[in-house]
Structure formats: structure tokens, C-alpha cells
């Protein structure tokens, strides 16, 4: 799809999910569970960025 490999698509999905996971924590008066959601979102964004950034054939230029 659009020239992406499976690894890049998984990374892209993780980036989108990680970004959306930050939204509930923006609003005041949230519970502790929602307050911990940015920790999970950060992990998803990190993994997604790693998957997309390392999806190259051979050595990076």
C-alpha cells in the first residue's frame, strides 16, 4: 500500500494510535488511569518511530 512495507505500516499505525492516546490526558479532572495513558502513548510513539526509521534496505545513506 503506497509503497510502504509491512514494518512501515505497523510503525505508522503505532504513531497514529500513540498520538490519539495523548488526547484524553489533555482534559482536566481525569482519573489516575487516564493520567498514566501518556506513558503508554510515549512508548507507542517511540516504537513506531523506530520501526519507520529503521525500515531501509542495506545501509542508510
DSSP assignment of 2-55, as one string?
A: TT--HHHHHHHHHHHHHHHHHGGGGSSS--HHHHTHHHHHHHHHHHHHHHHHT-
**Phi/psi at 57 (nearest 5 deg)?**
-90, 130
Residue 1 pLDDT exceeds 90: no
Model's pTM, two decimal places?
A: 0.79
For residues 33 and 39, give the distance between their C-alpha atoms in angstroms, rounded to a whole number. 11
Q: What is the pLDDT of residue 10?
A: 93
Residue 2: Cβ-neighbour burial (10 angstroms; 0-12, 13-18, 19+) = exposed
- Extents of the domains making up the chain: 6-53
What tens digit of pLDDT does each residue of 13-50 get?
A: 999 999 999 888 888 887 888 888 889 999 999 999 99
Amino acid at each position: 500500500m503506497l509503497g510502504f512495507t509491512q514494518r512501515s505500516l505497523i510503525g505508522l499505525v503505532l504513531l497514529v494510535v500513540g498520538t490519539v492516546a495523548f488526547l484524553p490526558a489533555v482534559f482536566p479532572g481525569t482519573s489516575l488511569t487516564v493520567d498514566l495513558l501518556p506513558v503508554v502513548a510515549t512508548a507507542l510513539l517511540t516504537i513506531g518511530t523506530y520501526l519507520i526509521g529503521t525500515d531501509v534496505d542495506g545501509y542508510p545513506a
